[in-house]
Amino acid sequence: MTDQSILDEIKTLKEQSFTTKRVVSPALEEILYDILPVLDHGFIRVIDYMGDDASVVQAARVSYGKGTKKISEDAGLINYLMRHRHTTPFEMCEIKFHIKLPIFIARQWIRHRTANVNEYSARYSILDKEFYIPTVENMAGQLSSNRQGRGDALPVEQAQELMRILREDSERVYAHYQASLNLNEQGEILDPEKSGLARELARMNLSLNYYTQWYWKIDLQNLMHFLSLRADSHAQYEIRSYAEIMLDILAKWLPLTHAAFMNYRIGGMSLSSKGVDIVKRLMKGEQVTQETSGLSAGEWREMMKNFM
């Protein structure tokens, strides 16, 4: 799906208007179908959704009737559900996104197996010449204390040289991709006498920084689990960029649930029984060190980082 076809689709969808008896979120309706840019060529679009904060409350109260309709009491109940991890009421809401993202982020993203996904197929269509190149400030070295994290940003000259290499490699593999399909740069047939390689084979050499697209539908509970991991400061920058926009979407869609989520999940922390014991000892004025805590050095660092 090209960007122009997406823009044409958005124009058509925005011109439509429906009356409904279903609950709607006015703030989310304002951005429905819109392109929300991410990274250099990526985006997120909200395509459809079901439910609102009241839907969560309704599901939680089903066992004892109608209940109340005061927003303050709804917020209190949602806070209780979030605090005590009563998850099923949150599963009653769903949302569907159209997402454009680099393939290497898609492969990381798909590890969250609790969604419904339908991805753009390079077996049937030709991928656009769009690839992701990090900015200078995001060209970082390997973190020495973590096998999967980034350390400090590389010196500017080194970063720019590596960016040049990444760009040249991406340009080269796309040129070879087109040639294997028997196409020129404009997508026209090079030699009518020759048959191009099958699309399902021609895609093999494309690098992981090329962009793909998919429709991704997920319920609210599993969306929050995704965001609790991918909007975390330790998450990879590129996937975190998508998660942060999705957090803003969550705030528009379900403001009470978003507030509870930010308070208890994103802004909160979970303690082990040993951790709870340490807090009790500290509250009594006892001096506690890593050696006397019963925690490993890594656990101690993580706990102190959250409290100091």
pLDDT tens over the chain, length 308 residues: 567 788 888 888 887 888 888 889 999 999 999 999 999 999 999 999 999 999 999 999 875 555 556 667 889 999 999 999 999 999 999 999 999 999 999 999 999 999 999 999 888 888 999 999 999 999 888 777 666 677 788 899 999 999 999 999 999 999 999 999 998 888 888 888 888 999 999 999 999 999 999 999 999 999 999 999 999 988 999 999 999 999 999 999 999 999 999 999 988 878 889 988 988 998 898 898 888 988 898 888 888 887 76
Amino acid sitting at position 97:
F
Contact 49/96 with Cβ under 8 angstroms?
A: yes
Cα angle 15, 30, 228; round to 5: 130
Sign of the four-CA dihedral 78, 84, 85, 88 = negative
pLDDT at 146: 62
Q: What is the pLDDT of residue 300?
A: 87
Report pTM: 0.88
pLDDT of residue 14: 83
What per-residue confidence (pLDDT) applies to 307? 74
Give the pLDDT score at 271: 83
Sheet-wide strand order for 211-219: 36-38, 42-50, 94-102, 211-219, 116-119
For helices 53-60 and 71-83, what crossing angle results, to 10°? 70
pLDDT at 204: 92
- pLDDT for the residue 28: 96
Residue 151 has a pLDDT of: 76
Who's near 257: CB < 8 A, 6+ residues apart? Answer: 53, 56, 78, 82, 90, 220, 250
Catalytic residues: 230
